[in-house]
Chains A and B, each alone.
Chain A
């Protein structure tokens, strides 16, 4: 998703000084893209809203450290991505979910064949796979950046991307429209 988010320097300066109205203006400007990013990475709307909230609490705390280098959206997006990835990690620790895609592979084929479209296919990917696909292919992060955010290797990111695309291809081929 290409985002052309323009926030005036005046608003940013006021936000950096702690002005609540300016901070709300930032929130309104970035609310949808942050939520969308989180929602695409996470499976559930409630978690995505939590990430939205956590992201802006972080923005408010750290806005004074933003030096205007690069687009503000890039800075906010980095925070949101990290928060979403942290959420996945916390959930994984809580559920001790397997890190690979075996959980999805074992699901009944009928549920896949019945309702497939691209969004549903995305939902069928592992949390990690979906995050890598979205961050790399849509948000434009490099494998190096993704590896750094996930504390993994570049090879891991590349391999997750290829595996996820292979899975997406299978899922979309199985969709009724594709038959």
Chain B
């Protein structure tokens, strides 16, 4: 007499058993006992006592978090400085360069930025796991974008046509950073391959 295999029993437990297996089970004491044993084994697994770590790892986690925050603060300050320096260079050298800024160029950069924002939203934060390096890189890029946004805001509040080139340049820089961020998000590791 052919009995159920473990595949059959596991499928029966999941209410996915074949017609043959379900029919066979009704008339076979051996297979019913095997299925009961499977249920019991799983109940035993669930009832195993929880294991607790021998050591407290919170302090290690805390130290690393604090160190990373200090590092990010330093980097953010560096990028803000770099953005400000870039802006200053534009303002200083503008009188010797032909004016390149135009409303069209600004609109193009802003449109590209909006499209990238939209793309980023599609690959956005859905709670999936990304690798530590990807998360770190994304955080750095977000910091840089925030620094550029800060400069754009300051320029937006200032008056004068002299700001136009600077605004376009900053928007272009924002687009470049957004492209890199999208790349990180698209290629992030959302699963682990075994």
The answer to whether A149 and B191 touch across the interface, beta carbons within 8 angstroms, is yes
Q: Is A150 an interface residue (CB 8 A)?
A: yes
The answer to whether A82 and B192 touch across the interface, beta carbons within 8 angstroms, is yes
The A-B contact count (CB < 8 A) is: 142
Q: Is B29 an interface residue (CB 8 A)?
A: no
CB distance from B160 to the nearest CB of A (A): 37
Interface string of B122-141 (1 = CB under 8 A from A): 00010111101001100100
Picked from B11, B54, B65, B128, the residue with its CB within 8 Å of the CB of A20 is: B65
- Chain B residues positioned under 8 Å from A20 (CB to CB): 62, 65-66
Picked from A23, A52, A86, A158, the residue with its CB within 8 Å of the CB of B57 is: A52
Picked from B48, B61, B125, B193, the residue with its CB within 8 Å of the CB of A1 is: B48
Task: Give the complex CA separation of A168 and B38 in angstroms.
Answer: 10
Among B17-25, B39-47, B102-110, B162-170, the stretch in contact with A: B39-47
Task: Give the complex CA separation of A58 and B132 in angstroms.
Answer: 7
The answer to whether B53 and A35 touch across the interface, beta carbons within 8 angstroms, is yes
Interface string of B35-79 (1 = CB under 8 A from A): 001100110111010111111011011101110010000000000
The answer to whether B52 and A32 touch across the interface, beta carbons within 8 angstroms, is yes
The answer to whether A151 and B50 touch across the interface, beta carbons within 8 angstroms, is no
The answer to whether B194 and A88 touch across the interface, beta carbons within 8 angstroms, is yes
- Chain A residues positioned under 8 Å from B69 (CB to CB): 18
Interface string of B1-23 (1 = CB under 8 A from A): 00001110111000000000000
Task: Give the complex CA separation of A31 and B34 in angstroms.
Answer: 36
CB distance from A28 to the nearest CB of B (A): 8
Q: Is the interface of A mostly helix, strand, loop or mixed?
A: helix
Picked from A78, A134, A163, the residue with its CB within 8 Å of the CB of B6 is: A163
Given known contacts A57-B132, A151-B193, A48 and B53 CB-to-CB distance under 8 angstroms: yes
The answer to whether B7 and A53 touch across the interface, beta carbons within 8 angstroms, is no
Interface string of A58-71 (1 = CB under 8 A from B): 10111001110100
- Chain B residues positioned under 8 Å from A78 (CB to CB): 127-129
The answer to whether A89 and B41 touch across the interface, beta carbons within 8 angstroms, is no
- Chain B residues positioned under 8 Å from A53 (CB to CB): 57, 60-61
Q: Which residue of B lies closest to A99 (CB)?
A: B194
Task: Give the complex CA separation of A54 and B128 in angstroms.
Answer: 15
Q: Is A137 an interface residue (CB 8 A)?
A: yes
Q: Is A24 an interface residue (CB 8 A)?
A: yes
The answer to whether B127 and A82 touch across the interface, beta carbons within 8 angstroms, is no
Given known contacts A49-B57, A53-B60, A89-B193, A69 and B127 CB-to-CB distance under 8 angstroms: yes
The answer to whether B192 and A85 touch across the interface, beta carbons within 8 angstroms, is yes
- Chain A residues positioned under 8 Å from B62 (CB to CB): 20, 23-24
CB distance from A51 to the nearest CB of B (A): 10
Q: Is A2 an interface residue (CB 8 A)?
A: yes
Q: Is A105 an interface residue (CB 8 A)?
A: no
Task: Give the complex CA separation of A4 and B127 in angstroms.
Answer: 21
Task: Give the complex CA separation of A73 and B50 in angstroms.
Answer: 16
Q: List 11 A-B contacts (CB under 8 A).
A: A31-B52, A53-B60, A54-B132, A61-B135, A69-B127, A118-B41, A118-B44, A118-B45, A150-B193, A152-B194, A165-B41
Known: A56-B57, A61-B135. 20 other contacts (CB 8 A): A20-B65, A23-B62, A27-B58, A31-B52, A31-B53, A52-B57, A57-B132, A65-B127, A82-B191, A85-B192, A88-B194, A89-B193, A89-B194, A92-B194, A119-B48, A151-B191, A161-B10, A169-B37, A169-B38, A169-B41
